[in-house]
Amino acid sequence: MTSKTTASSLFDFFFRPQMPYALAAIRIATGAMLAYIHLIWMLRMEAFFGPNALLSGEFIRGLHAEQWKWTYLANTESTMLAWVHEVVALTAGGCMCLGLASRWSIPIAWLATLLTAHRLAPFLFGLDQIVLMLTMYLCIADSGSVWSLDAHLAGDKPPIASWNNNLATRLIQLHLCVIYLFGGLGKLRGWMWWDGSATWFTAASYEYQSSSLLWIGSVPTLGAIATHATLFWECSYSTLIWNRWTRPWMLAMAVLVHGGIAIFLGMITFGVMMIVANIAFIDPLTVRRCCSLGDRKV
Amino acid sequence: MKPTPDPTELRECPPTWKWVILILVSLHLIAVVAEPLRFFSQSEFQASPEFLAIRRWSAPYVEWLYLDHGYFFFAPNPGPSHLVAVSKESVQLQTTNQVAEIGLHLDRFETVFPDRTKQWPRLLYHRYFMLSEFYNNMFAPDRLLPEDMADEEFVVRWKRDRIRYERLQSSLSNSLSHSLGAERVTLHRIERILLTPEQILRQAWRLDDPRALVLLEESPR
C-alpha cells in the first residue's frame, strides 16, 4: 500500500461524514446517567463536601499533590458552593439528555463532572471512567442534532452527516478497545480466570451481590465456561469487533457480560453504561431503524 | 464498520485540518494507553523505562482528563472485600481464636460501611464501598519489622505512606465523630474472605457469615 492510499484510508476511517443517530442514543443515556450521578452526590452533601466531609479538602490536596488533578472544589470548604456546582452539573446532565442547548450543556456537564471527580476521586469506580470518557467525546460531535429539544425547536430539519460525528465515534470505539484489551490482559495474569473459578468468586462476594448466582457453584462446568467466555471475549474484543461477521457476536456477548454485572453484581449503572458505549459500534442508520421500530410499536 | 453515507447533506472536514487533527488524535491515543502500559509494565524490579517516560511526559493531560486507569476490572483475580467498622471507644475486640470460632459480629460497632441497609440507592452504597476499599489500599502499618528497617528506600516509602494513611484516618475520624456525635472514634479495617462452593453449598455458610470476617491488624506481627 502506498503512503497516499494509507493516508486516504486513515482520512476515510476518521473523517468520513456520519449521521448522528448512534451518538444521539449515547448522549441521551449518558446525560441521564450524569444527572443521576450528581443526584446521588447531593443525597449526602455533608459527607462528600464541606468542613465535615469524609475526605477533607486538605486530604485531597495532599493526595493529589504530585498529580495534575486540580479542582477548585478541593480548595473550598463551602457546602453552598458545592451545592451550586452539583445543581449546575445535574442541570447540564439533564439538558444533555434532553438535547437542550447541546453545544453548551455537554461540555458543561463534562467539565462539572470532571471537577467533582477530582474532588471525590477515592469514591469513584468504572462507571465514572466510562461516563466521563463518553461525555468527553460527545463534546466534539453533533449528537444534539437529532432526538433532541434543539432539533425540535429548529423545526426537525433532516440531520447533516458530519465528519465530527465520525471522529467522535472512532474515538469512543478505539478507547473502548483499549479498555477491553487491558481488562482482558489483566485477567490473563490471574489463576482464577484460568481455572474457571472467577465467576464463582465474583458471584460469592457479599459486597457485590445483588441477585444470587450461587447456584452456579453446583454446576462448576457452567461457571468455568462463563469465566473463560468472558476472558476470551475481553481479550479478542479489540480485533473481532472490527469484522462485520464477528461484530454481532462481540456485541451480544457485551450485553450478556455487562447485563450479568448489572443484574448479579449490583453495578446496574456501570453495566448499563458499558452496553451504551457499545452502541458506538452499531451503524447509525440501524440505530435509527431500531428506534423507529420502537415508535411504531408504541 | 463502514460509516454511513449521507443521503442528503454532508459536512466534510476541511482538507488542511485533517493532518492537524490526525496528529492530535494520535497524541491523544498515546495518552489513552499511557497509564495501562505503565501499570502493566511495572514489576518489583522496575517499571519499563519507555512506558514510564511516555506516562511522565503525558502526565498533565492524562491526569487532568481522568485517563489514568489501568482498567484492572476484577483482575488479576477477584479478591476479598474490605469494610470499615467504626466504634465510639476502643472496644474490646475478640482474639483471633475467638473470631475463628464464632466470627466477627458487626453489630458491636457503632457503624460499618459499606452497609446496604443504610446506604441506598445502590450507587450511593457503591461509593461507600469504594471508600472502604481505598482506606484498605492506603494502609501502612504503624511500625516496621526490624528486618525491613535495613532497606533505606523501603523505610522512606513507608514513612511517606504512613503519613498519608494517618491523614486519611484523621479525615475520616473527624467526619464520623461529627456525624455520630462522639468525641472521638476508632476505625477498624475488616476483610471479608472469599468463600468456596464447599463452604456455601455443603457447609451452609451464608454470604454474610460472621466467620468470613477478619479483623486486620494495624501492626505487623
B205 in contact with A at a CB cutoff of 8 Å?
Answer: no
**CA B158 – CA A246 distance, rounded (Å):** 49
CA B109, chain centre distance (Å): 23
pLDDT, position A292: 80
Question: Which chain A residues touch B168 with a CB distance below 8 Å?
Answer: 55, 59
B204 in contact with A at a CB cutoff of 8 Å?
Answer: no
| Mean pLDDT for chain A overall | 96
* Closest to B72 measured CA to CA, from A188, A202, A135: A188
ipTM surpassing 0.90: yes
- Which stretch of A56-70, A233-247, B7-21 has the lowest confidence by average pLDDT? B7-21
* Residue A21 near residue A148 (C-beta atoms within 8 A): no
Task: With cut-offs at 50, 70 and 90, classify the pLDDT of residue B148.
Answer: confident
**Entry pTM:** 0.95
Query: B47 forms bridges with which residues in the sheet?
Result: B42
Task: With cut-offs at 50, 70 and 90, classify the pLDDT of residue A294.
Answer: low
* Residue A250 near residue A173 (C-beta atoms within 8 A): no
B168 to A160: CB separation less than 8 angstroms, yes or no? no
Q: Which amino acid is at B33?
A: V
* Residue A285 near residue A18 (C-beta atoms within 8 A): no
Q: Which amino acid is at A267?
A: M
Three-state DSSP class for B190? strand
The string of pLDDT tens digits covering residues A149-179 is: 999 999 988 999 999 999 999 999 999 999 9
Three-state DSSP class for A190? coil
pLDDT, position A5: 87
A206 to B168: CB separation less than 8 angstroms, yes or no? no
The string of pLDDT tens digits covering residues A206-259 is: 999 999 999 999 999 999 999 999 999 999 999 999 999 999 999 999 999 999
Grid coordinates standing for A288?
Answer: 435509527
The string of pLDDT tens digits covering residues A179-198 is: 999 999 999 999 999 999 99
Grid coordinates standing for B126?
Answer: 457503591
Residues of chain A above pLDDT 70, percent: 98
* Closest to B197 measured CA to CA, from A237, A219, A91: A219
Three-state DSSP class for B213? strand
Task: With cut-offs at 50, 70 and 90, classify the pLDDT of residue B44.
Answer: confident
- Which residue has cell 466504634? B87
- Which stretch of A32-36, A44-48, B142-146 has the lowest confidence by average pLDDT? B142-146
CB pairs under 8 A between A and B: 223
Which of A47, A126, A283 lies at the smallest CB-CB distance from B4?
A: A283
pLDDT, position B221: 77
**CA A197 – CA A224 distance, rounded (Å):** 6
The string of pLDDT tens digits covering residues A77-86 is: 999 999 999 9
Candidates B41, B68, B161, B175: best to mutate against A (most CBs of A within 10 A) is B175
* Residue A218 near residue A212 (C-beta atoms within 8 A): no
